[in-house]
Amino acid sequence: MRLWPSEPFGQTVAILAIAYLLIELGIPYIPPLFGLASAPAPDSVVFQYMLTVLMGVLIWVSDNEERWRAFKRPIQRVLVEEKRKPIRVALLVLVPVLVAFIAFDQARPSLSAPPSFRAIHPAPPGSMTFRDRTIPITGLENPLRHEGRLEAHYEEGKRIYYRNCLVCHGDLLDGQGPYGPAFNPAPLSFQDVGTIQQLTESYVFWRIAKGGAGLPNEGGPWNSAMPAWEEFLTEDEIWTVIIFLYEQADKTPRTWEEVAGSEGGPQ
C-alpha cells in the first residue's frame, strides 16, 4: 500500500493534516525537547497558520493547468456522478449542520456569573449598639487581652469558631469551608494580608456582630452572606473568637496608634 496519495486532491488533504498536527503538537511539544520554553498555540493562531498553508497549497495546485484539472476531478465526481450520490447527500447534510453548530456555539450566552471584586473595607460607624448597649468602636481595644489567660480565651474562641464559622471560613481560616463556594462574594480568608491584619479588633468585632446586614449602604450592594452574630453570641464570645482568629492566622491586629498615624481611620 502506498502511503502518499498520487492525486493532487489527496496530497492537499494529506498536507493539511500534517500541517495541523505539526502546528497543534509541534509548537507545544517539540521546543521542550531542545530545552526551549514553549506553550500551546492559541486557536486563532492555529487558524491563521492553517489558512496560510491552504493558500500555499492552492497556489501550488493551480500553478499548472494539468495539476489543476487533476485536483478538481474528485470534487467534480462527487458533485455529479450517480454512484457518488450517498457522499453528496451526506455532505449536503453535514456541512450545514456543522455551520449551524458553530453559529450556535458562538451565539450561546454564557451562564457564569460576572466576577465581583471587593475593593475596600467599608468605613465602620463610630459606635454601635449591641443588644441595647452602646459600644464605641473608635479607640476600643479587645478587653480580653488584659483579662484572664490568653490561652483560655484562645481555646474558647476555637470552640466558637469550629461551631459557627468553620462551615464558611474553613478549618484553615482560608475561606474554603464546605459552604464557602456557594457564596458570592465568598467568605473571606483570614490568612490573606488584606483582611484582619489590616483591621483593628474593634472593627472585626463590628463586622462579626452586625454581619452582612450591618454593612453601610454606600459601596453596596454587598450581597454578603455573613450572618449577624450579635443574635447568637455574647460580647465576650465574639472577643474570644477574635483572639482565636489572630492567633491561628498568625496575624497582629492594627492598633489605634497606627490608625491615628494614617489618614481616614481603619480601612
Angstrom distance (rounded) from CA 86 to CA 82: 9
Nearest distance, CB of residue 177 and ligand HEC, angstroms: 7
Nearest distance, CB of residue 185 and ligand HEC, angstroms: 5
Nearest distance, CB of residue 265 and ligand HEC, angstroms: 14
From candidates 167, 172, 228, 249, binder to ligand HEC by CB under 6 A = 167
Nearest distance, CB of residue 163 and ligand HEC, angstroms: 8
144 binds ligand HEC per the rule CB under 6 A: no
Selection from 31, 50, 49, 47 nearest residue 39 by Cα? 31
Q: How many residues bind ligand HEC (CB under 6 A)?
A: 23
Residue matched to cell numbers 465576650: 236
265 binds ligand HEC per the rule CB under 6 A: no
Omega within 30 of 0 (cis) for the link into 185 = yes
19 binds ligand HEC per the rule CB under 6 A: no
Angstrom distance (rounded) from CA 250 to CA 267: 20
Angstrom distance (rounded) from CA 223 to CA 87: 57
Task: Kindly report the backbone phi and psi dihedral angles of residue 120, in degrees, each rounded to the nearest multiple of 5, phi listed first.
Answer: -135, 165
Q: Which of 2-10, 37-45, 89-97, 184-192 is the region at the interface with ligand HEC (rule: CB under 6 A)? A: 184-192
195 binds ligand HEC per the rule CB under 6 A: yes
CA distances in angstroms from 158 to 15, 187, 195, 239, listed in the order given: 67, 18, 19, 11
Cell of 46: 492555529
DSSP class of 110: P
254 binds ligand HEC per the rule CB under 6 A: no
9 binds ligand HEC per the rule CB under 6 A: no
Q: Which residues bind ligand HEC (CB under 6 A)?
A: 121, 164-165, 167-169, 179, 183, 185, 187-188, 195, 204, 207-208, 212, 222, 224-227, 229, 241
